Amino acid sequence: MKRSLVVTAIAVVLTLGSSCGKDVGPVAGNLSVRLATPNSGADSAIVFTITSPEALVSATPGVGLRLFAQPLGGTTTRFALTGNLTTGTTILTLGVANVNAVGRYSGSIEGVAQPNFVLRPSGAGTGYGLTVIK
């Protein structure tokens, strides 16, 4: 009796131990979109596209920003944000079905405007960029 209890306990420990550290499947949650800008605080609008492995669940603007978005539902979603854009801040929070797939999300900037509505160059090499993080 005692021996079977010990064997059962060892089997339970081995089973639990072997599942530690393994991906248990999709985990719903939020990802943050961060902006890098060489003109921190001097821009007031941005248009960008987020590419994702599956449809986004939700999108919430960063503090002090106003969000305009096409309906969520595809693997590419276009957004526009207005407000004071500063570098390093979360400009958008994305609700996603699997936060473990964060490496499969990306953002591309289509345009950035100053408060006087003058567009800035925002392509590669201009110092602008988006990062999607957990």
Report d(CA 89, CA 98) in Å as an integer.
22
Q: What is the per-residue pLDDT for 7?
A: 47
> Can you tell me the distance from the alpha carbon of 62 to that of 21, in angstroms, rounded to the nearest whole number?
32
Q: What CA–CA distance (Å, rounded) separates 41 from 22?
A: 42
- In the prediction, which pLDDT does 40 show? 92
Q: Percent of the chain beyond pLDDT 70?
A: 81
Which CATH class name applies to 25-133?
A: mainly beta
Reported confidence tier of residue 42, pLDDT bands at 50, 70, 90? very high
pLDDT of the residue at 2: 56
Q: What per-residue confidence (pLDDT) applies to 124?
A: 65
- Percentage with pLDDT > 90 across the chain: 75
Query: Is-contact 118 42, C-beta < 8 A?
Result: no
Give the mean pLDDT of the chain: 87
Domain extents in the chain: 25-133
